[in-house]
Amino acid sequence: VKYIVLESLPQVLIEQGILQGTYLTSTNGRKFAAFQGVPYAQPPTGKFRFKDPAPPNPWVGIWNASEPGSVCLQNMEIPTYFKYTNDHYTSHIQTPIAGDEDCLFINIYTSKVYFPMNFIMKIFIHGGCFMHGHGSWYGPRHIMDRDLVYVTFNYRVGPLGFLSTEDEVVPGNMGLKDQSAALHWIQKNIAAFGGNPNSVTLAGNSAGAASVHFHYLSPMSKGTFHRGMSLSGSAFCPWVQMEEGKAKAEQLAAALGCTTKTTKEMVKCLRKRPAYKITQQIKNFKGWLHSPFSPFGFIVEKAGISPFLNKLPKDVILNGEAQNIPWIASVTTEEGLYPVADFITKKNLLQELEDRFQEIAPYLLHYNYTVVKDKKKEVADKIRSFYLKGKPISPETVKEIIQ
């Protein structure tokens, strides 16, 4: 690894070429180097759409790594608790869309860069139900009060990251494979930024927390980290695992005028459709308001050359195949406020939930695809009886609704 010292801006030389970053200041006034918007894979566009991430291309000259790259394309019709602003917001007809397909970028923040420091590594995977979010959601200013190397990255979300035809055409889990590619990129390059590749802590929240757990289970990510933290999410959460992957792919294709006769023809057509139109279709997978909030997510791969995971998470664990390294997992009290926050202050929506609970509950509680049709109302009634104990859904029973 070569280190290039400039008076004004930090530079490092990695396998892909020279990076030029910038300096930022932490909350308590410490100066640190930032290398943002660094490609860790080829753009997943054109023929690479719906495919596993490919190794990044080298460049000639100096790569400007002073700003984060584009966020991955995502539908911005999202609950208020996910609202954020960024510099890559664009509006299209009917549905607002943010980001770009060319989005596989990584951000590295380091206390020192000009000589080997062997700092501990902290990688944070963003949440967002596998539907929204980006690495810059969790910035460096607080954590960089300490001596360490902190890394965040984008990964494909929504149908562009988690579509599955449940066969070899699009096995699925592209977003999780992006994450694994980023972890391998970090192992290969982090010494250039003063980081210790043998002391990596992998953390995340929500979908990021579930992702951390998945990396314990997937052989694809083995050896890329040494301890983990899952904050409010695991591979066992009902909203994490996608059901009816092929049916959802066919629904999406039909809405965009693509044939569904064969998966090969269907995907060939989808690769020619504008990416933002694919992302716009997410609204058609919502049963009530923004629920289910993760219609696309992890799926057990039934085919493919390099599956991220071709077994149920529980089977990996029961078979003793998970990585045996330290793991901390946590939840937050009354976490049911999400997604309740979207309707808890609106009396008309509370009344609608009261009147249509049997119909809405399968979407709100993520069992629409896992409970047979003639049992859904019975399950809804049992849930309501257990938590509300005969009380109506109203502003006075907010606590019970959150539970």
Task: Please choose, from the candidates 219, 211, 283, 216, the residue with its C-alpha nearest in 3D space to the C-alpha of residue 240.
Answer: 211
Cα-Cα-Cα-Cα torsion 333, 123, 211, 82, nearest 10 degrees, comes to 60
Pull the structure tokens for residue 29: 């006034």
Q: Please provide the DSSP assignment of 241-294 as one string.
A: B---HHHHHHHHHHHTT---SSHHHHHHHHTTS-HHHHHHGGGGG-SBTTBSS-
Q: Which of 206, 218, 291, 294 is catalytic?
A: 206
Q: Which long-range contacts (CB under 8 A, 24 or more apart) does 92-97 make?
A: 92/276, 92/280, 94/280, 95/279, 95/280, 95/283, 97/73, 97/276, 97/279, 97/280
Task: Please choose, from the candidates 38, 46, 49, 42, the residue with its C-alpha nearest in 3D space to the C-alpha of residue 13.
Answer: 38
Distance CA 7, CA 16 (A): 23
385 belongs to the catalytic site: no
Contact 276, 92 (CB under 8 A): yes
Pull the structure tokens for residue 150: 């902190």
Report which residue type is found at 217.
Answer: L
Give the number of other Cβ atoms within 10 Å of residue 317's Cβ.
16
SS (H, E, C) 150-165: EEEECCCCHHHHHCCC
Residues belonging to the active site: 206
